[in-house]
Structures are given as C-alpha cells and as structure tokens.
C-alpha cells in the first residue's frame, strides 16, 4: 500500500483552446500532485491511499466521489468547514503557452494542523510514502505535518519519495531550500527536473536553456550526483522536457542510482494535456520500484507512463499497466486497437 499526502484542487478549464475571457463553460475536474500519483497507482491496481483535507460541502463530496471512482483509498481524508483550492487552466497551442491561475489560498487542507493527522492509522499496511514540494509549501502547519510524516515513515521502514516541484507563488527559494533541506534526510527517492534542483537547492547543470527547448543530457549526471552527495538520497530521477512548442514536446528521463546513470527512450509528443506529466512519471517510477523492476525497466515504465499522460485530458493519468508496457516495449505507432 502506498500513501500520498498533499492537496487536491478543483481544476476549471475552458473548452478546447478557448481562453478564459472567451468561454462560458468550464470543464470541472480535480487534480493535485499527490492525488495524481495516487490515481495512477490505483489505475495500476495498486492500493493507493490519498491523505488530504476537503470541505464538508457538495464540492468536497464531488471530489471524494471522483477519487473513489478512480479507486483511490479515501478512508483517511478528513472534511471540515472551509473551501477547496481551485486552479484555472487554459490550454496553450503552438507558440501560445498554457496558463495556470491559482486560487488556492485558505483551503481546508492548508489550514489543517499536524495533530489532525493520525499517522499510525494512515500508515497501517503502507510500504511507500510519497509527497511533493508543494505540500510543505502550503503552510507552516502542513510543513510540520510533512516532516512528522517523514519521521514516522522512516521509523516504520516505509520508503519515502519526494517530487521537488518548486512553486514560486507559494514560497521563496530561500524558504523552500530551508524546509526541503530538512525533509531530504528522510527521502529515499527524489524526483526533480533541472529547474527544481536549481530553484530549491541551487544545484545547477551547465549549458541548458530551458525555454529554447534544448537540454544537455550529460550535465544531468552532475546534478543528480550533487543531490545524492548533499543529502544521501539513494535514487534520483530527472525528467527532461524539451519544449518545441505548447503543442509538441520531446520527453525523456534519467535515473541515477548507486552511481549509475540510466537514460530512457525519448518520445516526440503531440500534446493533448500536459498537466500532471511529472506526477505520472513519479507514479510510474514508484510502480516500477515496488514491482521490483530493475532500474532501466522502472525508468522506461515511468517515462512511457508519463508520455501517455500527455495524451489524456485532465490531471489523472488514465492508462493501464498493459498500455504503459505496450509503449515501453516499443509500440508507439498509435495503430488502432480493435
């Protein structure tokens, strides 16, 4: 059983490629880094428990219904008076970037306290604990709860993974560095991209210009090694996005484990919806590692899973193990399946 801990938001998106000031309809779904990971794992037939807080009204109830639909264990979600965070998501195309507007301040989850979480119950039967850098950024209380969760997990011999996921609107780089550095000693598997590592820990690789869509693969070994050396983390995974345009990305990933660097296939993706791409990579990696895959296969599974996410509407990666493996094994031709 895998536990993920974080915030889930309502996602409101205009139909198709309309912008917010053109539309009269919004698609309502739900999403958030750790919820997305839980849904992916549930889709892979893993027991995934998502821990969060939700409003005790029809909005919270609608969100709970969706999580149940996707087979996520919602037994440890608490509800309370208050609001749910929202994010508006405009889909970009070609040279026009996708745009996300957050309205998440004051959510029920961000206002919960460390003692609201009963980690003994939450971790009952758990083998893995996952969170992202967004969770401790939400509030000091939640940062404290995250640290507490990490300690408890460690004490229970539960593997801990973290996706750095720096959000500049939630906290400063300085605060992120301080808080995340305090959490790293408990982390076994770290997922990041170059920007995250730089933003949060000031760890840089040379010669990369992200906006130009060009990435220097070799320099990542250096980034990974610096992370491992600084925090003693066993496994570091880095996702590599080369943005040709909002409609077309190249996507691959690296895994650094025990001093070895593994490199995945690279996918040329026509994008349907790229939000949640990183989360689907994390979930794929957790799946592979908990299934006992070797590093290369776990990395290929994670990369193929997240490649497919870019073809799925919404935050949740609505694909099966069978579909991920078919792609990882080489069939990206998209021929009709009858």
Beta pairing partners, 270: 248
Choose, by CB under 8 A, the member of 79, 98, 141, 290 that binds a second copy: 98
Helix (H, G, I), strand (E, B) or coil at 292: coil
1 contributes a contact to a second copy by CB under 8 A: no
State the CB neighbour count (10 A cutoff) for residue 206.
9
Task: Count residues binding a second copy (CB under 8 A).
Answer: 88
> Between 262 and 267, whose beta carbon lies closer to a second copy?
267
> Between 251 and 256, whose beta carbon lies closer to a second copy?
251
97 contributes a contact to a second copy by CB under 8 A: yes
Only one of the segments 114-122, 143-151, 242-250, 292-300 lies at the binding site for a second copy (rule: CB under 8 A); that segment is 242-250
Spatial distance between the Cα atoms of 305 and 323, rounded to a whole number of angstroms: 8
Rg (CA), the chain: 19
**Dihedral angle at the C-alpha atoms of 185, 289, 281, 229, nearest 10 degrees?**
30
**Residue 227 near residue 203, CB atoms below 8 Å:** yes
> Between 66 and 139, whose beta carbon lies closer to a second copy?
66
> Between 34 and 315, whose beta carbon lies closer to a second copy?
315
Only one of the segments 96-104, 134-142, 215-223, 229-237 lies at the binding site for a second copy (rule: CB under 8 A); that segment is 96-104
Choose, by CB under 8 A, the member of 51, 269, 283, 295 that binds a second copy: 269
State the CB neighbour count (10 A cutoff) for residue 219.
15
Beta pairing partners, 54: 79
Scanning residues 72 to 91, which ones bind a second copy (CB under 8 A)? 83-84, 86, 88, 90
**Residue 31 near residue 11, CB atoms below 8 Å:** yes
11 contributes a contact to a second copy by CB under 8 A: no
Spatial distance between the Cα atoms of 162 and 4, rounded to a whole number of angstroms: 10
Which residues fall within 8 angstroms of residue 58, CB to CB, at 6 or more apart? none
> Between 45 and 181, whose beta carbon lies closer to a second copy?
45
Cα–chain-centroid distance for residue 304?
15
174 contributes a contact to a second copy by CB under 8 A: no
Scanning residues 139 to 168, which ones bind a second copy (CB under 8 A)? 167-168
Only one of the segments 32-40, 124-132, 185-193, 325-333 lies at the binding site for a second copy (rule: CB under 8 A); that segment is 325-333
DSSP label at 92? P
Per-residue interface string for the shown chain with a second copy, residues 247-266, x marking contact by CB under 8 A: xx------------------
Smallest distance, a second copy to C-beta of residue 215, A: 12
């Amino acid at each position: 059983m895998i536990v993920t801990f974080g915030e889930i938001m309502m996602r409101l998106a205009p139909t198709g490629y309309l912008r917010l000031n053109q539309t009269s309809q919004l698609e309502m779904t739900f999403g958030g880094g750790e919820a997305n990971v839980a849904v992916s794992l549930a889709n892979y037939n893993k027991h995934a428990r998502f821990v969060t807080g939700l409003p005790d009204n029809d909005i919270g109830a609608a969100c709970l219904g969706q999580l149940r639909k996707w087979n996520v264990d919602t037994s440890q979600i608490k509800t309370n008076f208050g609001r749910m965070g929202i994010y508006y998501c405009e889909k970009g195309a070609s040279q026009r970037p996708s745009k996300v507007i957050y309205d998440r301040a004051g959510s029920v989850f961000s206002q919960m306290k460390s003692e609201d979480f009963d980690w003994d119950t939450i971790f009952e039967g758990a083998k893995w604990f996952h969170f992202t850098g967004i969770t401790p950024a939400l509030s000091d209380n939640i940062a404290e709860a995250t640290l507490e969760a990490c300690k408890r997990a460690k004490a229970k011999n539960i593997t801990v993974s973290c996706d750095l996921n720096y959000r500049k609107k939630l906290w400063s780089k300085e605060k992120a560095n301080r808080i995340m550095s305090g959490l790293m000693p408990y982390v076994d598997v770290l997922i990041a991209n170059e920007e995250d590592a730089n933003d949060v820990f000031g760890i840089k690789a040379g010669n990369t210009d992200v906006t130009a869509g060009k990435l220097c693969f070799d320099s990542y070994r250096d980034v990974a090694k610096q992370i491992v050396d600084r925090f003693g983390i066993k496994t570091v995974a880095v996702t590599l996005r080369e943005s040709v345009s909002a409609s077309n990305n190249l996507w691959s990933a690296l895994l650094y484990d025990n001093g070895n660097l593994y490199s995945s296939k690279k996918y040329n993706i026509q994008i349907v919806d790229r939000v949640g791409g990183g989360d689907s990579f994390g979930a794929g990696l957790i799946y592979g590692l908990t299934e006992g895959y070797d590093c290369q296969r776990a990395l290929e599974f994670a990369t193929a899973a997240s490649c497919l996410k870019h073809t799925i509407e919404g935050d949740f990666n609505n694909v099966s193990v069978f579909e991920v493996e078919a792609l990882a094994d080489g069939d990206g031709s998209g021929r009709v399946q009858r």
